[in-house]
Amino acid sequence: MSADLSPIDKAKFVAAKRACDFVEDGMRVGLGTGSTAAWMVRCLGELVREDGLNIQGVPTSSRTADLAREVGIKVISLDEAKWLDLTIDGADEYDANLNLIKGGGGALLQEKIVATASDQMIVIADIGKQVDALGGFPLPVEVIPFGWQTTKALVEETLVGLDVLGQTTTLRMNGEAPYITDEGNHILDLHLHRINNARQLSLVMNQIPGVVENGLFIDICDAVVIGHGDGRVEVRDINAGTVEEDKIDFLENENLFSDLTD
């Protein structure tokens, strides 16, 4: 089965697998959303089932909650956990300072709340997510449905005064209907191409009435685990200033791949 995975999926898998080394018995762990995070949830599930790892997971979306329960992870709410030891999540982009764009999977609001309520946030990603400047990936902004067109106009007006390359905004769709987040909101995708001052943009966006949250994660991520298609992984810790390299053997993980075909 592992041979059937694309190089990108292999890269996502090895990043997820390596990040699970940071999870210790008794931890309360934030569980991210997306295809990379789904690998991490499966790997953690295997550690729970086969090695007796005792953790409580706080999912960042209904999708992740369903998967976590399916693989045997005890799921609790953020209010039950109150504070988390660690959150592991994917990202759409990360820069050299480990600032992120997230929300490609539509879960940015819960993801940001959960990551901010954690002692540590680790991002898992394939090397393709690394960028010199954020903004190549459209920036998701969650807005409440009431008056969303007015909010969109205000967002566009605000962008005129900001240091970005593009200013087009689009309403995210799910087929013919607007995409609805777990919180019942819509998402505007901002096609900015390059964001020259992400901190300013994030602060200014969140001042607009109708905007709930944006997908810029500034100073939230502590480390990134970067996967490569050949099994190599790199762990960059921004606080310690360290870079560690490792290699994951796909053959040792056959169980996880065969779980997928069940």
Interacting residues toward ligand 5RP by CB under 6 A: 32-37, 89-92, 102-108, 111
| Nearest C-alpha neighbor of 87 from the set 137, 40, 25 | 40
- Of 139 and 235, the one with the shorter C-beta distance to ligand 5RP is 139
Give the number of residues written for the chain. 262
- Whether 90 contacts 32, CB under 8 Å: yes
- Whether 90 contacts 33, CB under 8 Å: yes
Q: Active site includes 93?
A: no
Q: Give the shortest CB-217-to-ligand 5RP separation in angstroms.
A: 9
Q: Give the shortest CB-157-to-ligand 5RP separation in angstroms.
A: 26
**CA 125 to CA 108: how far, in whole Å?**
16
- Of 91 and 248, the one with the shorter C-beta distance to ligand 5RP is 91
- Of 33 and 185, the one with the shorter C-beta distance to ligand 5RP is 33
- Of 63 and 152, the one with the shorter C-beta distance to ligand 5RP is 63
Q: Give the shortest CB-44-to-ligand 5RP separation in angstroms.
A: 15
- Determine the distance from the C-alpha atom of residue 208 to the mean position of all C-alpha atoms in its chain, rounded to a whole number: 24
- Of 94 and 250, the one with the shorter C-beta distance to ligand 5RP is 94
- Whether 44 contacts 23, CB under 8 Å: yes
- Catalytic, out of 93, 111, 142, 213: 111
Q: Give the shortest CB-54-to-ligand 5RP separation in angstroms.
A: 26
Q: Give the shortest CB-121-to-ligand 5RP separation in angstroms.
A: 12
Helix, strand, coil percent content, the chain, rounded in steps of 5: 35, 30, 35
Instruction: Mark residue 20 as left, alpha or beta (left: phi above 0; alpha: psi -120 to 50; beta: remaining).
Output: alpha
C-alpha to C-alpha distances, 55 to 47, 75, 78, 176, nearest whole angstrom: 10, 9, 14, 40
Enzyme catalytic residues: 111
